[in-house]
Structure formats: C-alpha cells, structure tokens
C-alpha cells in the first residue's frame, strides 16, 4: 500500500505528465483559456486515466505478455503478442471514452453538459496512452497502476488549472503582440516546468521512512 502512495505522489508532483514529459500538451494548450473549462477537462482526464490503467494492465498481462497470457495455456506453447499492444491499448481507450460518455449522459446530464465536448478529445490526449505505456515499461503491479493513473491525472489537472489561471491574468498584461496567446503560453509552461523541477530531489520512499 505504501508503495502505491509513493507512486501517486511521484506521478502527481515529481514526474508530472505535462511539465516533465510534455504529455497531453495539445489539449493543455488549446483548452487552458479559462479556469472553468480547464477544471472540467482536468476532471475528465483523472477519470479516464483511473479507469483505463487497470483495464490495460489486466489485458496486457492476460492477453499479450508471453508466459502469463491465456493463449499459452490453451495452445500449450508460449506466445508473444506484445506487438499488438498499441492497437489494443488505443482501442480500449477509445471505447472506454465512448462508454464513459454514454454512462455520464444517461445518469448525470448536468455533468455531461459541462464535460460533454471534452470527452471525445481525451481519446487523443497523449497523457492517457502515455500513462499506459509508462505503466508497462516501469513494471507496475495492479494497485500501483491505479495509483499511477490517478496521480498522473491529478498532476495533469493541477497543471492545466494553474496555466489557465495564469493565462486569465495575462490578459491584463502588456505582452508584445507577436508573443500574445500561444507564444506566451509556451514560455509560461517552461517556467512552470522549472518550478516543478524543484520537487525532483524529493524521494517519497525516504519520506515514508521518516526522512531516512
């Protein structure tokens, strides 16, 4: 349990998906003009990351990985299907987003109206697929992958809300015309990245042991 909490902290603050890996940059820049919409998209990303990570983990283990997949038992010989990983992951993400959209539409129309337009966007949010690929390359277990999904989503939420708030304030500043809007958003993200880097020296495992 302790290690899952460390994974959560690490994903949310130290290795922030946006500010350390540039994942989910497109929607981050496009939808950060007002805080309200940024909160909506951020919440949807937390939700979808939290759902797709465990599903992809299970499918990766029981359908693709040699040695643990069910085809090995069925055919009596090992099969390595990992080359299908991209197609499987993206299909799961696309269908999960569609499913989430339908469920929200049915049970909470008010939430659907506030999130509605952002949900389809999330399919092509690199943070979702990137999260699943990091999960595979870092060998997380099931609990850790849920923690990584929620933590990564929370970090993404923090970053987009922060930049939206800064951009709202920037409207009153005297920025050179050619730098206005997009150019300034890039430079601000760079500065935020440097600020988040000061968290890099923190080792969550050491904190859990009382600073040793």
Partner 1 sequence: MADVQETQLKNQEATFAFGKKERKLLSDPLNDNNPVTVQVLGICSALAVTTLVYPSLVMAVAVVFVCAFANLAISLMRNIIPGQVRLIVQLVVIATLVTVVELALKALSYDVYKQLSVFIGLIITNCIIMGRLEAFAMANKPWQSFLDGIGNGLGYGLILIAVAFFREIFGKGTLFAGSPAELKIIGNTSEYLLNTEATWWLGWYANNGLMVLPAAAMFLIGIFIWIQRSYNTKLVDIS
Residues 6+ apart with CB under 8 A from 92: 52, 55, 56, 59
SS (H, E, C) 143-195: HHHHHHHHHHHHHHHHHHHHHHHHHHHHCCCCCCHHHCCHHHHHHHHHHHHHH
Q: Nearest distance from residue 30's CB to partner 1, in Å?
A: 6
Pick out residues in 93-122 that bind partner 1 (CB under 8 A): 94-95, 120
Q: Distance between alpha carbon 198 and the CA centroid of its chain, in Å?
A: 21
In the list 3, 5, 180, 208, the residue contacting partner 1 (rule: CB under 8 A) is 180
Give the binding range for partner 1 (CB under 8 A) out of 1-9, 19-27, 50-58, 154-162: 19-27
Task: Show the site string, 136-165: x = touches partner 1 by CB under 8 A, - = not.
Answer: -x----------------------------
Question: Nearest-CA neighbor of 131 among 151, 110, 158?
Answer: 151
Q: Nearest distance from residue 16's CB to partner 1, in Å?
A: 10
The yes or no reply on residue 133 touching partner 1 (CB under 8 A) is: yes
Q: Nearest distance from residue 102's CB to partner 1, in Å?
A: 12
Kindly report the CA angle at 13 between 9 and 14, in degrees rounded to 5?
Answer: 95
CB 52 within 8 A of CB 132: yes
Q: Nearest distance from residue 2's CB to partner 1, in Å?
A: 26
Q: Nearest distance from residue 29's CB to partner 1, in Å?
A: 5
Question: Nearest-CA neighbor of 163 among 197, 195, 188?
Answer: 188
Pick out residues in 35-74 that bind partner 1 (CB under 8 A): none
d(CA 189, CA 191): 5
Q: Which residues bind partner 1 (CB under 8 A)?
A: 19-26, 29-30, 33, 83-87, 90-91, 94-95, 120, 123-130, 133-134, 137, 176-187, 189-191, 193-194, 197
């Amino acid at each position: 349990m302790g290690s899952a909490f460390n994974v959560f902290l690490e994903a949310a603050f130290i290795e922030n998906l946006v500010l350390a890996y540039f994942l989910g940059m497109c929607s981050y820049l496009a939808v950060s003009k007002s805080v309200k919409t940024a909160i909506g998209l951020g919440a949807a990303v937390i939700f979808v990351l939290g759902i797709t990570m465990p599903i992809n983990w299970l499918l990766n283990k029981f359908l693709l990985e040699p040695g643990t997949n069910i085809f090995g038992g069925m055919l009596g010989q090992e099969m390595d299907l990992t080359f299908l990983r991209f197609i499987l992951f993206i299909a799961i993400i696309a269908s999960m987003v569609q499913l989430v959209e339908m469920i929200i539409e049915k049970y909470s129309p008010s939430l659907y109206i506030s999130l509605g337009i952002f949900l389809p966007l999330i399919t092509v949010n690199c943070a979702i697929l990137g999260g699943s690929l990091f999960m595979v390359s870092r060998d997380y277990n099931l609990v850790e992958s849920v923690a990584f999904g929620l933590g990564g989503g929370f970090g993404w939420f923090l970053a987009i809300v922060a930049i939206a708030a800064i951009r709202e304030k920037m409207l009153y500043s005297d920025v050179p015309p050619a730098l206005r809007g997009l150019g300034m958003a890039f430079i601000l993200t760079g500065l935020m990245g440097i600020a988040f880097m000061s968290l890099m020296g923190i080792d969550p495992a050491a904190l859990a042991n009382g600073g040793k």
